[in-house]
Chain A
Amino acid sequence: MEPAAPSSPAPPAPAAPSSPSLSSSSPSSPSPPPAAAPGSAELVCAQGRNLKAVLCQRCGSRVLLPGAATFARRELLLPAMKKKAVAAAAASGGDVVREHWLVRDMFSFENVGFTRDVGNVKFLVCADCEAGPIGWHCLDDKDSFYVALERVAHE
């Protein structure tokens, strides 16, 4: 749990600070729900909420109950979800993710972990196996918690 393994050449922290600036290029308020992409259409109900429960892809831990979040589009940079060895080989890097479940109250989550601050951002991880980051929270916007659709499972 403590410092990075000796095998990893450089701390991946530099990947993080770019996320707030990247996100600020998009509108400050997330876009309305109806325009779900084809892939996410069957996951969103008529009210724009998540039809299915949101689970950890790796261990199945329950992150959100059905209906606990709304679909939102926003470009965010999330550090890669890779294990140490792979991450070391792939150096730094992250993915730009665009489709999210937006949660308005931190305690709407069933199970989730929050990392310590990276700049003004906290990343969200699975509470049970700490796979992640699965989501993003900016300290400047206390009432917005984003969970990337492509980083979670739906059931």
Chain B
Amino acid sequence: MAKTYDYLFKLLLIGDSGVGKTCLLFRFSEDAFNTTFISTIGIDFKIRTIELDGKKIKLQIWDTAGQERFRTITTAYYRGAMGIMLVYDITNEKSFDNIKNWIRNIEEHASSDVERMILGNKCDMNEKRQVSKEKGEKLAIDYGIKFLETSAKSSINVEEAFFTLARDIMTKLNRKMNDNSSSGAGGPVKITENRSKKSSFFRCTLL
């Protein structure tokens, strides 16, 4: 069968244990089905399909699934990754401080041109907040990385985060392709800003 998509991006979720990385992959964070069987073995990765500027993009999203506890995240895990979500918990200062260590880990092991994004998760829990939004923004600016506060529980910015990262990867790819074929055939790849047409990521479109 012919290929039914335009792009395929491998994305990783990185961050301390308990910051809610796995929940970012749920549509129903609290209502996850979680059979004993499935929660025992754990999820390796998920495939999600999104549409961006009329292009069909397959995202293969990997969750560290607890390996971060043992600091065993190495080159093998990062291989082929085109985008990385760095996740901390706004109610846990330590997880925020560790973002710097995770960035160092990425610089050591991942491809140098991997797209990165910082997410301050659990922003629905404002009363327990330990890390201000400004602090998160400043860190992101220092590293030249995009930043969003998210809540997997309340579905705040989760979809936006994945769309933003996918868009950045796509833009980078298109730029590379243009550079490579600047003397050859084919005009520049046109990227139209049309966010209104985006398909729903975490909501199923019923017919």
Contact = CB atoms under 8 A, between A and B. Distances in A.
Interface in A105-145: 105-118, 122-123, 125-133
A116 B49 contact: no
Contacts of B25: 113, 127
Contact of A107 (B5, B31, B202): B5
A60 B204 contact: yes
A35 interface: no
Contacts of A109: 47, 49
A1 interface: yes
Among the interface residues B31, B36, B40, B48, which one has the most CB atoms of the partner chain A within 10 A?
B36
A128 B44 contact: no
A74 interface: no
Given A82-B35, A108-B4, A110-B49, A4 B40 contact: yes
Nearest to B60: A107
A127 B58 CA distance: 13
B34 A128 contact: no
Interface residues of A, number: 56
B202 A115 contact: no
Interface of B: 1, 4-5, 8, 22-23, 25-28, 31-49, 58, 60, 65-66, 202, 204-207
Contacts of B206: 60, 155
A100 interface: no
Nearest to B49: A110
Interface string A84-115: 10011000000000000000111111111111
B28 to A, nearest CB: 5
A59 interface: yes
A83 B27 contact: no
B188 to A, nearest CB: 27
A22 interface: no
Interface stretch (A7-15, A25-33, A37-45): A7-15
14 contacts: A4-B40, A8-B36, A61-B204, A68-B1, A83-B34, A87-B35, A109-B47, A115-B43, A116-B42, A123-B38, A125-B33, A127-B25, A130-B34, A130-B38
A55 interface: yes
Nearest to A106: B47
A83 to B, nearest CB: 6
Contacts of A1: 22-23, 32, 34, 39, 42-43
A114 B49 contact: no
Contacts of B27: 59, 61, 128-129
A55 B39 contact: no
A115 B47 contact: no
Given A105-B1, A107-B5, A155-B207, A113 B37 contact: no
Given A59-B27, A129-B27, A114 B34 contact: no
B51 to A, nearest CB: 11
A130 B43 contact: yes
A5 B5 CA distance: 39
A59 B28 contact: yes
Interface string A63-90: 0010010000000000111111001100
